[in-house]
Amino acid sequence: MQHFTPADPTPRRLGFAMLPEWAAHAATWMSWPADNELWFGHLETVRAEYAELVRTILRFEPVELLVRDQESEDDARRRLGHQPELRLHRVPLDDVWIRDNGPIFVRSETGKLALTNWKFNSWGGKFEWRNDDRVPEYVAAALHMGHWDIPRVLEGGAIEVNGEGAALVTRSCLLTPTRNPGLSEQGYAELLSEYLGLDKLLWLDGGLENDHTDGHIDTITRFTDAQTIVTSTESDPRDPNHAAMSRNLRALRELQGGEHRPFRIVELPLPAARLEGAEGRLPPTYANFYIGNGFVVVPQYGDANDARALDILTPLFPGREVIGLGSRAIIEGGGSFHCMTQQQPEGEVWSGERGDS
């Protein structure tokens, strides 16, 4: 296994690129919830919802589950049992949001799989992060996989790709000075071109009120295929999310007259009820779904719009079972299913040999 620095040839120069989430998976990586204080006393109900998420994913593909200590391992095994497609890894962890602290995988044109290891600083230093920042190195070692160590902050939830070179991002997240001070939109375009193989960044302004990620794209706007974008909307003009989501919708519609093939834009309502948590308003959203091998899991909140969201999303994923699962306790931590998962695409593990990519 070899690792590379920015002085070495970049993934793009070796023919690697990030794949869309709907590409076939070898496994899903996850991290077991462990800290009752981080969950504001809701850990038991969070673990119950989380276990149902893991069991659902295991119906379709293997799960690689990180557990931070003996108590977490015992609890996970008690709730999940010993399943052949489930593998547990004892790893020091701060939190569960592996979408953001985990690796971002890239695959070559010849089908070799590697990963990129970005810096993670807990969304600009909001929480403890030093253990979570080491997760990609652990995954690389466990898989004996070549990888790039990149001295820039990037969270997986901050970028949404369509597999044809385009990615959706938000200014409110990427341009915050607590991540990569001084890095401009053009700077990000060059960085993500070289390390994720992207050709074009599509910028939206911002995300949901009181989202501690500063507006991750995966909480508001997602690709469901290369040309279809589903984007969150708020119908109540008195709600602060109404103005932000309306600006994003206008920006997406303006793309229709640009240099790209026209995107199909589908509106997805936010939950109707305002949810409050220990730190103020919570950011529930149906856009934080996770796409896997033959399935899509969509968070549900016991809300009037739950069924409507499933009705909108189901026809967008032909050939996949669209499954609604409870996330009312999980959202107390500020995220949901997409934030808690990281896909490992199918591909032959690349050890890092230059002539073998």
Residues labelled catalytic: 339
Instruction: Tell me if 222 sits within 8 A of 188, measured CB to CB.
Output: no
Nearest to 264 by CA among 222, 230, 311: 230
b/e code 185-212 from CB counts within 10 Å (16+ = b)? eeebbebbbbbbbbeebbbbebbbbebb
d(CA 132, CA 95): 7
Handedness of CA 198, 288, 34, 61 (dihedral sign): negative
Neighbour tally for 298: CB within 10 Å: 25
**In which residue are the tokens 């984007």 written?**
231
Distance (Å, whole) CA 270 – CA 142: 38
